[in-house]
């Protein structure tokens, strides 16, 4: 008899309440590491470029999602892109209310698939889909090779 066969009503399910401590480390992977190291050292964004089918992606990948080839080429795309969409956020990802609403936008880069979702520093009435925006990075000496090295996007 399997578990599914033996339980026919949810009232038959027993459970324990408690907490399990979980520690983890998240890695960026090969391509993600290149992306954040490039921001840290060169103040630039890179995209992956597939040598087999020509597909380009930001965030960069270590293999091609289109043809599964290994990716060995990464191209500079600069810090300026196009605001593809945006929204006003009143709560953070943990449900804690921001003191002031924040604008989050999807920024796309010319000739590259994908995009970067990040904070946009501007009042919503000053934003338009399609407008040019540029990433504002931390000063080079303060960068750590993490997403927070990107402070925000602002009108280019
Ligand atoms: Zn490909």
Question: What pLDDT digit, counting tens, does each position of 45-73 carry?
Answer: 999 999 999 999 999 999 999 999 999 99
User: If you measure from the C-alpha of residue 47 to the centroid of ligand 1, how many angstroms do you get, rounded to a whole number?
Assistant: 13
Mean pLDDT across the stretch 121-138?
93
- Residue-range domain boundaries for the chain: 26-155
Contact call for residues 37 and 141 (beta carbons, < 8 A):
no
User: If you measure from the C-alpha of residue 23 to the centroid of ligand 1, how many angstroms do you get, rounded to a whole number?
Assistant: 35
Q: Which CATH architecture has domain 26-155?
A: Beta Barrel (2.40)
pLDDT at 92: 87
**In angstroms, rounded to a whole number, what is the distance separating the alpha carbons of residues 8 and 98?**
45
Give the pair of three-digit tokens for residue 23: 């520690």
User: If you measure from the C-alpha of residue 50 to the centroid of ligand 1, how many angstroms do you get, rounded to a whole number?
Assistant: 5
CA angle 62–67–68, rounded 5-degree value? 40
**In angstroms, rounded to a whole number, what is the distance separating the alpha carbons of residues 156 and 87?**
19
Model confidence band, residue 22 (pLDDT cutoffs 50, 70, 90): confident
Q: What is the average pLDDT value for the chain, to the nearest integer?
A: 92
Give the pair of three-digit tokens for residue 101: 């609403």
User: If you measure from the C-alpha of residue 72 to the centroid of ligand 1, how many angstroms do you get, rounded to a whole number?
Assistant: 11
Regarding beta strands 113-114 and 56-58, do their DSSP bridges make them parallel or antiparallel, or are they unpaired? Answer: parallel
pLDDT at 34: 96
């Amino acid at each position: 008899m399997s578990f599914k066969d033996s339980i026919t009503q949810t009232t038959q399910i027993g459970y324990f309440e408690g907490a399990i401590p979980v520690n983890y480390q998240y890695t960026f992977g090969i391509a993600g590491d290149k992306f954040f190291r490039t921001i840290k050292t060169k103040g630039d964004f890179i995209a992956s470029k597939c040598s087999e089918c020509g597909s380009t992606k930001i965030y960069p990948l270590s293999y091609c999602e289109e043809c599964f080839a290994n990716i060995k080429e990464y191209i500079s795309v600069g810090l300026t892109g196009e605001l593809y969409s945006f929204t006003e956020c009143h709560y953070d990802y943990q449900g804690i209310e921001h003191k002031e609403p924040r604008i989050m936008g999807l920024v796309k880069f010319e000739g590259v698939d994908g995009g970067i979702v990040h904070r946009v520093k501007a009042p919503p009435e000053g934003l338009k889909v399609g407008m040019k925006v540029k990433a504002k990075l931390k000063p080079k000496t303060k960068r750590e090779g993490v997403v927070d090295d990107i402070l925000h996007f602002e009108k280019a």
